[in-house]
């Protein structure tokens, strides 16, 4: 068994990576990691375990500052610019080797601890049994809809009467207001528009952690063009809202939304969800993901919630006790990471 550490996914054979992580999530793919690296938005590190020269386990991580009691630098183990698992190990021996590699990177980056994010229940249960000294915490729930519908009208008819009426009103208003929809994978063409719209949203929330650069859109078109789309909404040829979708044959994931608040009355935010569902049904996809937050509205349109969990460990024992206290208080107050 051999452990290797590298700063680029290009040092890892793409076929071996795909065999390890599967093909069900674009955010776990070799192409997605290349996109993030080419964008320069995260400083990437990878730990790989090989046996007989073949990749058997791997973890992806990057340094990022998180605010708890105070702002603190961590090594985050998660899909970069994503919300998906980035720790792949089946047996305790591989897990232990990966953890030693992560601890080495943590010291190199002078991070205060390691955070493992975006574990679904079964992934969380498996990894938790194999790591030592970590504190568990619960993240905000993911949301999804299983698309067991013959067409979009069949989906609408599955809603309760109030939700059906609300959806119809939104769709009818969009027709009266002549809201236009454009779906494209020519990301370079629309990169400035998308960044401007997302910046409005980041300014509103005073959070720029996920603000994508124009270079990111160029990298997305270069690496993931066949599996990604930009969905844009226009009023009188003025772009008022956008989102990125990542697609596999079976699922669609929407993320990185941005909107112009001056055009909020046109309800493009709600149209985005209905248009995403319609397109996914037409493609024959079985599930659509809409991420965390805005749970009340998402519940009305048929979204279910999926629990996500994380694991945390500080390098310093005193800081580790402080983190444990913070997470305990957060759990008791109902706050999720």
pLDDT given for residue 66 in this prediction:
80
Across the chain, mean pLDDT equals 94
Domain count, the chain: 2
Share of the chain above pLDDT 90, in %: 87
The pTM score is 0.93
Do 314 and 298 fall into the same domain?
no
147 belongs to a structural domain: yes
Do 209 and 65 fall into the same domain?
no
Do 198 and 107 fall into the same domain?
no
Domain of 217, CATH number, reads 3.40.630.30
DSSP state of 81: T
Do 86 and 150 fall into the same domain?
no
Integer Cα distance of 92 and 130 in angstroms:
5
337 belongs to a structural domain: no
pLDDT given for residue 319 in this prediction:
80
| Number of DSSP helices (H) and strands (E) in the chain, helices first | 11, 15
Structural domain boundaries, residue 43: 2-141+309-332
Enter the tokens of residue 164.
């059906």
Q: How many CB atoms lie within 10 A of CB 279?
A: 19
Do 319 and 298 fall into the same domain?
no
Q: In 3D, which of 223, 248, 225, 247 has the Cα closest to residue 30?
A: 223
Average pLDDT, integer, range 8-35: 97
Taking only the tens place, the pLDDT of each residue in 260-295 is 999 999 999 999 999 999 999 999 999 999 999 999
b/e burial code for range 67-100 (CB count within 10 A of at least 16 → b): eeeeebebbbbbbbbbbbbbbbbeeeebbebbbe
Do 147 and 137 fall into the same domain?
no
- Give the model's confidence band at 324: pLDDT under 50 very low, under 70 low, under 90 confident, else very high: confident
Query: Which positions ≥6 away from 202 have C-beta within 8 Å?
Result: 208, 210, 211, 258
pLDDT given for residue 334 in this prediction:
63
244 belongs to a structural domain: yes
- Give the model's confidence band at 190: pLDDT under 50 very low, under 70 low, under 90 confident, else very high: very high
Could you tell me what percentage of the chain is helix, strand and coil, using 3-state DSSP and rounding each to the nearest 5? Answer: 45, 30, 25
- Of the listed ranges 71-75, 192-196, 284-288, the one predicted with least confidence: 71-75
- Give the model's confidence band at 330: pLDDT under 50 very low, under 70 low, under 90 confident, else very high: low
Share of the chain above pLDDT 70, in %: 96
Do 200 and 230 fall into the same domain?
yes
Integer Cα distance of 48 and 9 in angstroms:
10
pLDDT given for residue 84 in this prediction:
93
Average pLDDT, integer, range 223-237: 96
250 belongs to a structural domain: yes
Instruction: Give the residue, 324 or 68, on which the prediction is more confident.
Output: 324
Q: How many CB atoms lie within 10 A of CB 102?
A: 22
pLDDT given for residue 281 in this prediction:
98
Taking only the tens place, the pLDDT of each residue in 127-186 is 999 998 999 999 999 999 999 999 999 999 999 999 999 999 999 999 999 999 999 999
Task: Give the torsion through C-alpha atoms of 156, 177, 283, 144, to 10 deg.
Answer: -60
Average pLDDT, integer, range 228-247: 96
Do 129 and 154 fall into the same domain?
no
- Give the model's confidence band at 72: pLDDT under 50 very low, under 70 low, under 90 confident, else very high: confident
């Amino acid at each position: 068994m051999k452990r290797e550490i590298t700063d680029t996914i290009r040092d890892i054979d793409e076929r071996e990576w795909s065999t390890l992580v599967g093909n069900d999530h674009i955010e776990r793919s070799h192409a997605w990691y290349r996109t993030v690296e080419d964008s320069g938005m995260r400083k990437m590190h990878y730990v790989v375990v090989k046996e007989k020269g073949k990749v058997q386990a791997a973890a992806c991580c990057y340094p990022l500052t998180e605010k708890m009691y105070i702002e603190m630098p961590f090594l985050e183990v998660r899909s970069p610019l994503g919300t998906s698992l980035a720790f792949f190990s089946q047996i305790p021996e591989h897990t232990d080797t990966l953890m030693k590699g992560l601890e080495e990177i943590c010291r190199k980056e002078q991070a205060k601890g390691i955070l493992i994010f975006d574990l679904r229940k079964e992934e969380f249960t498996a990894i938790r049994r194999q790591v030592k000294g970590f504190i568990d915490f619960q993240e905000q729930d993911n949301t999804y809809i299983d698309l067991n519908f013959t067409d979009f009208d069949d989906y609408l008819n599955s809603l309760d009467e109030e939700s059906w009426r609300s959806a119809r009103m939104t769709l009818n208003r969009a027709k009266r207001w002549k809201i236009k929809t454009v779906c494209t994978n020519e990301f370079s063409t629309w990169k400035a528009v998308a960044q401007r719209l997302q910046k409005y949203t980041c300014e509103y929330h005073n959070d720029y952690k996920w603000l994508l650069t124009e270079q990111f859109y160029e990298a997305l078109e270069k690496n993931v063009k066949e599996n990604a789309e930009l969905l844009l909404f226009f009023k009188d040829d003025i772009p008022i809202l956008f989102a990125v979708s990542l697609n596999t044959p079976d699922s669609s994931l929407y993320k990185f939304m941005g909107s112009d608040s001056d055009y909020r009355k046109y309800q493009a935010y709600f149209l985005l969800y209905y248009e995403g569902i319609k397109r996914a049904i037409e493609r024959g996809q079985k599930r659509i993901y809409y991420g965390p937050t805005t749970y009340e509205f998402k519940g009305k349109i048929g979204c279910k919630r999926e629990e996500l969990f994380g694991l945390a460990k500080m390098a310093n024992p005193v800081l580790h006790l402080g983190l444990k206290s913070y997470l305990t208080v957060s759990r008791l107050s109902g706050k999720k990471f």
